[in-house]
A and B are shown apart, each in its own frame.
Chain A
Amino acid sequence: MYLGIVKGTVVAERKAAGLEGKKLLLVQPVDEHGAPVGDVQAAVDTVQAGDGDLVYLVGSREAALACDPWFVPVDAAIVGIVDGIGLPAKAGP
C-alpha cells in the first residue's frame, strides 16, 4: 500500500461493467513527508475521500478486492484517509 494526496475528480459516464456508481479520484502518490513520488493516477474511492485529503491506497489485484463487486478492472483503490503519521526523530548526523 502507499500514500497519496487527492488532487481532483475524474468524471466518466461510460465505464466498464461493475464500475457503475464508483467514484474515481485523481491522486498524486507521496512519501510520508507529503513530497510527490511518481505520476498522478486515477483511483477508485471506497472511503468518501475529498480534495486535499492524505489517503492510503492499495494497488494491483488487491485494489479490485476493495470493491464490491470485486471482479472489476481496477488497479488502484483508496482504502483509508490518514489522520496522522508518527514520524521518528531523525537519527544521527
Chain B
Amino acid sequence: MVAPMWAAAKHPAFAGRPLFVVQPLDEHGGDAGPSFVAVDHVQAGIGDRVVVLTEGNGVRQILKAGDLVPIRSIIVGIVDSVDHGGPA
C-alpha cells in the first residue's frame, strides 16, 4: 500500500524519480512490518497494492543508470488480485 511523498532537496540520483511511502501487507491486506520509502517505476497511485524490490543490485539493473545508484527499494508492479487458492 503506497502513499506519495514529496522532497525538493534530494541526492542527484533521485532527480525526477517519484517517491512513495510503502506499507508492507500480508496476503490478506493486514499490515506486515514497518513502512519504508521506495522509488516508483510503474506509475503507482495512492493506495495501490504494489510489488516492491528491496535490493540494491536489482534496482541498478532495472534503472540502468550506472553502478553507483544509492537506491535500495523500487516499486516494480501493481497488484490486480491475489488468488488464495482453495479447491480447483
What range describes how many residues of B lie at the interface?
Answer: 20 to 34
In the complex, A19 has a CB within 8 A of chain B: no
Q: Are A81 and B70 in contact (CB under 8 A)?
A: no
Does B79 interact with chain A (Cβ within 8 Å)? no
The verdict on A32 contacting B3 (CB below 8 Å), with A56-B19, A62-B70 known, is: yes
Nearest A residue to B23 via CB reads: A32
Chain A interface residues (CB < 8 Å from chain B): 1-3, 31-32, 37, 46-49, 56, 58-63, 65-66, 70, 77, 79-88, 91
Binding site for A on B (CB under 8 A): 1, 3-11, 13-14, 19, 21, 23, 34-38, 46-47, 56, 68-73
